[in-house]
Structure 1
Amino acid sequence: MSSEQFRQYIRTIQKQIAKLQEELARDWSEIAEALDGLQLIHEEMQTSLEAAEVVEQTLLQQNQQIAAAYQYYYDLFQTSPIAYVVTDANGLILEANQAIAQLLKVPQRYLLGKPLAVYVAEGERHDFYTKLSRAKNSGIQVWQMSICPREDTPLAVEFYVSTVRSDAGLIELRIAVSTMSLSRETTQAQHLNQEAIRPETRFRPHLPQSLDGLRVLVVDDEPDVREFITAILEPYGIGVRAVTSAAAALAELEQFHPDVLVSDIRMPGEDGYSLIQQIRAWEALRGRHIPAAAITAYLDEDREKALSAGFEAHLHKLAPPTDLIKMVAQLAGRAAKQESDALN
């Protein structure tokens, strides 16, 4: 090989080396870029993992809160002084609290799975099943029945029945049972001529009777509560206007002219405190006053706060229906007037 050929051979090798170096440089650049991408993915995964841990912790706390709330309301159900049962659409008892067990004089565990009709007076069971079949398509109802506690005489009660339908279409009846005071004459009249006594006046509790014509404005965002309160008040001749919000209540003041206001405290938007402040300002311009009662489903609601805000009375939603009637009568001055009339 001549010197010129050798030099040419060396230059060819050098060019090949240079080309390899360029390719290696390009490959290393791609490798470095890929490594940077992997680093970024790792950081994103780490961030997502940390976010998932936060979500998991939040869900854990929420589950704990839900469990605590469930236990709270379960304990409230069990220890409530109001006799309460939950049945299926056929009247089979699914849940029963201690108060209904005491009322029926039956151990609480024996009530579950039994037909509620077993404890209804035999002569009224047909009426009970008729009402039961109609309840499937109704809201809150008030049934006047007689129940038979174990080894005791029949007892006149009112069933406050709320129908609940689940997403699966299953129906449950939530029934609060309230006893009523009967005079001997009323009891005798019922046995002598039960059909002659109007359904709305049978087994009526001993409450103020001069309530006809009284107008009560009820404010609550829950439809079941509005229907329930209306069902309690109307049988006593009370005119009820039930609305869903503070704004609707203010609009009714000029048209309905209520004698008494009954308002929920915790409502979306404007709450009961805001409503009573606006009503008191409205009254100041017109020289009139509407007695008002605050109602709440929360045991920790501050009664003094409600009274300081401008309400004259405060009542829990789980209070016996007779307490609501008495409170409305007292706020309207009817109870005092009746006692005065009786003394005169």
Structure 2
Amino acid sequence: MNRDELLFEFQNIRDQIETLYKYIKETPMQQQQVIAELEALDISLSNLELLKEEMQASLEAMEIIEEQLLQQNEKIITERKLYHNLFKFAPNAYLLIDSQGKIQEINYAAAALLNMLPSFLVGKSLTNFVSREERPFFRTKLNQSLNVKSVQEWEVSICPRNAQAFDALLLVKPIREAFGTQSLLQICLHDITKYKHIQRSQFAASQQPIFSEPVETPHQLNGLHVLFIDDEADARELIAAVLKQYGVMVTAVASVTEALLELERSRPDVIISDIRMPDEDGYALIRKIKALEIEKGWQIPTAALTAYLAEDRAKAIKAGFQSHLHKLAQPRELIAMVAQLAGRA
């Protein structure tokens, strides 16, 4: 019984007592009427006793549930402290920001990159640490980011407090708080200044002959057709320049969609693709290539090319790529890989 039923039962008993009192006081009652009222009163009291027992059982069950909830809550608090400490002292730089760019949480590694203590950074806007020229781009990405489910990659120049600016790669993933509607962005921050310096040096070198002495073009690569996919224009120009020096015909495109359109027009001898690209990445591409091969009866050798040292080579091979190479590899390594994939080594 609930509270309303209990009140009704009490009111029923009260009415019966008042009726019995009225009979006794004002009317010479017959014995049968008195007995009937007493029996009705006895039934109500029995119901009330049953209700009391049910409520007691419910209270005991609620106490057990409350104890279990307290134990679970203590466990959750302990685990949260553990993971929070892991977050704080993690070797990688992590932080959480809201849709306005304000820092909600930040670990020591990220604070060190910004050259400030974590306690001083909470509540501050990460935008303030982005170079002035790139702030409009950064704000635009912030506005768009909450509607994107996949991990995004942003490259910006970060200006720490009283320290030299550095090129930064931000791996950004939207999350939603468990007990609220506020959306946050989880960011892993990497200093890629050294990598960018090497990449720029390689691109500059590609504008000149790659080797100090003339190198004879291997005739076995003449006429070979390579389809290369990379969302970065600099990378497309660099790889295409290296391959063309060896007589390779190169079709360079910027996305998975463009690559599939090109495959509708022609069949390349080798496909080389960057792994990390916006919208659809290299893994999405290799899945679609495998489906296309089944449909058309093709077998096109494919290679994964990545700019990130932490990229898992085993993962790329398992996904279906026949080979894997880092973008910082020597040109001779790239040519050797292409020749091997095309069966012209």
TM-score w.r.t. the length of structure 1 is 0.51
Say if 2:133 is the partner of 1:117. no
Q: Confirm or deny that 1:90 pairs with 2:133.
A: no
Amino acid at match of 1:328: K
User: What 5-or-longer segments of structure 2 have no aligned partner?
Assistant: 1-27, 205-229, 236-251, 257-273, 295-307, 337-345
Structure 1 position 182 matched with structure 2 position 195: yes
Q: Secondary structure of the residue that 1:91 maps to in structure 2?
A: coil
- Please give the alpha-carbon distance, in whole angstroms, between the structure 1 residues aligned to 2:154 and 2:102: 17
CA distance in 2 between partners of 1:159 and 1:324 (Å)? 15
Q: Of the candidates 310, 318, 323, which is equivalent to residue 310 of structure 2? A: 323
1:200 is the counterpart of 2:232: yes
- Name the structure 2 match of 1:195: none
Cα contact 1:159–1:178 (8 A) shared by 2 = yes
**Among candidates 323, 326, 335, match of residue 334 of structure 1:** 323
The one-letter amino acid of 1:179's match is D
Q: How many residues get paired?
A: 229
User: In the alignment, what sits opposite 2:114?
Assistant: 104
Q: Deviations over 1:149-172 (max 9, x none)?
A: 344433222111223467976443
- The alignment status of 1:240 with 2:283, answered yes or no, reads yes
Give the aligned CA root-mean-square deviation in angstroms. 4.7
CA distance in structure 2 between the partners assigned to 1:129 and 1:183 by the alignment: 23
Residue number among 136, 155, 159 corresponding to 2:166 in the alignment = 155
Select the residue among 31, 37, 48 that pairs with 2:58: 48
Bigger relative contact order (CA 8 A; separation at least 6):
1
Change in Cα spacing, 1:29 to 1:123, as seen in structure 2 (3 Å) is: closer
How many angstroms does 1:143 deviate by?
A: 0.6
Alignment-mate amino acid for residue 186 of structure 1: Q
- Which of 125, 148, 153 is residue 138 of structure 1 equivalent to? 148
Q: Does the 8 A contact of 2:167 with 2:196 survive in 1? A: no
Cα distance in structure 2, aligned partners of 1:253 and 1:48: 62
Give how far 1:34 is off: 3.0
**Separation of aligned partners in 2, 1:111 and 1:36:** 67
Mapped partners of 2:156, 2:314: distance in 1: 25
Displacement, 1:70? 2.6
Go from structure 1 to structure 2 and tell me whether the alpha carbon gap of 1:254 and 1:89 turns closer, same or farther (over 3 Å shift). Answer: closer
Query: Partners in 1 of 2:312 and 2:181 — Cα distance?
Result: 35
